[in-house]
């Protein structure tokens, strides 16, 4: 079974402070991990995927198989980062291209 856990429903930080959105997963095989973001009144969109190993809008995420984590990080939060963030997992060894999502973390960046 695939499971994604995002322990924080709401994360509030000040502008310029570091951000870390936590994501842990449970999957017996080799997973692909993603972060999706939904800004206010916009569609859910892909932020980054672990196989790309890229930084998008200053965000990075490293897959840690030992800790089964894929935390999203940004060194200096900006006001425009305020949004809902979802971590998602695709099981490479089963389930096709189906994604399992976490419950999401609302990030609020305060001035």
Partner 1 sequence: GAGVSQSPSNKVTEKGKDVELRCDPISGHTALYWYRQSLGQGLEFLIYFQGNSAPDKSGLPSDRFSAERTGGSVSTLTIQRTQQEDSAVYLCASSINTGGYTFGSGTRLTVV
Chain residues that interact with partner 1, rule: CB under 8 A: 6, 9, 34, 36, 43-46, 49, 86, 88, 95-104
Least distance to partner 1, CB of residue 91, Å: 12
Nearer to partner 1, 17 or 44 (CB): 44
Least distance to partner 1, CB of residue 70, Å: 15
CA dist 15 and 69 (Å) reads 25
Contact (CB, 8 A) for 72 and 35: yes
Nearer to partner 1, 98 or 108 (CB): 98
Least distance to partner 1, CB of residue 14, Å: 26
Least distance to partner 1, CB of residue 76, Å: 26
Nearer to partner 1, 17 or 46 (CB): 46
50 φ/ψ angles, rounded to the nearest 5 degrees = -70, -30
51 φ/ψ angles, rounded to the nearest 5 degrees = -70, -20
Residue whose C-alpha is closest to residue 90's, from 29, 22, 48, 31: 31
Nearer to partner 1, 49 or 74 (CB): 49
Contact (CB, 8 A) for 40 and 23: no
């Amino acid at each position: 079974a695939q499971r994604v856990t995002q322990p924080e429903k709401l994360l509030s930080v000040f502008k310029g402070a570091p951000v870390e959105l936590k994501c842990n997963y449970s999957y017996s095989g080799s997973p692909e991990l993603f972060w999706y973001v939904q800004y206010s009144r916009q569609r859910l969109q892909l932020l980054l995927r672990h196989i790309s190993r890229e930084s998008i809008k200053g965000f990075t995420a490293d897959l840690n198989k030992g800790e089964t984590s894929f935390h999203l990080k940004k060194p200096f939060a900006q006001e425009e980062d305020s949004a809902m963030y979802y971590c998602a997992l695709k099981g490479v060894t089963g389930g096709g291209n189906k994604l399992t999502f976490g419950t999401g973390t609302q990030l609020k960046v305060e001035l």
